[in-house]
Amino acid sequence: MTRRLIQVLFDELPQQPQQQLHLPVSSHPKIRTMVEMMAKGPVEWGALGQWAGFFAMSERNLARLIVKETGLSFRQWRQQLQLIMALQGLVKGDTVQKVAHTLGYDSTTAFITMFKKGLGQTPGRYIAGLTTVSPQSAKPDPRQ
């Protein structure tokens, strides 16, 4: 189910964001559980220490497991998931404010800062870059 969830998120995004985002998926049951619960919403995101407590293991051991299974730290991995979910909402036409709220950010500014740090542009500019009509596609079809 975890792989399917990630695939659905990627399928709903245009091709361009996929090139800049990478969310390693693991078959490890604890990592799968984290993905499934985080996908439910920001209430389920939690800090590393909360997840460690949930899995009845030390924070250090969980951090090592995440790096071993994904190649990313918990923070990096969680940010990738947040960016993917943010892009999913933005591409659907949700406002930046709505996406920030949906992901559990207390302020839109904090969300924009995270987004810009992760993708190098503000959400508005990033999405505008995706929807810009290319000169090639703007040319009329001579067969019509």
At 7-29, the pLDDT tens digits run 655 555 444 443 467 888 889 99
Residue 89 lies in a domain: yes
Q: Which pLDDT value is given to residue 44?
A: 65
Residue 143 lies in a domain: no
Q: Which pLDDT value is given to residue 10?
A: 54
Residue 33 lies in a domain: yes
Domain limits at 52? 2-133
Residue 142 lies in a domain: no
Residue 55 lies in a domain: yes
Q: Which pLDDT value is given to residue 110?
A: 94
Per-residue pLDDT band for 122 (boundaries 50, 70, 90) equals: very high
Q: Mean of the per-residue pLDDT values for the chain?
A: 81
Residue 99 lies in a domain: yes
Residue 141 lies in a domain: no
Long-range pairs of 39-47 with CB within 8 A, sequence gap ≥ 24: 39/5, 39/81, 39/85, 41/102, 41/104, 42/102, 42/103, 42/104, 42/105, 43/104, 45/78, 45/104
Per-residue pLDDT band for 43 (boundaries 50, 70, 90) equals: low
Residue 138 lies in a domain: no
114: domain CATH number is: 1.10.10.60
Residue 2 has pLDDT above 80, yes or no: no
What's the total number of domains in the chain? Answer: 1
How many whole angstroms separate alpha carbon 27 and alpha carbon 92? 29
Q: Which pLDDT value is given to residue 25?
A: 82
Q: Which pLDDT value is given to residue 104?
A: 87
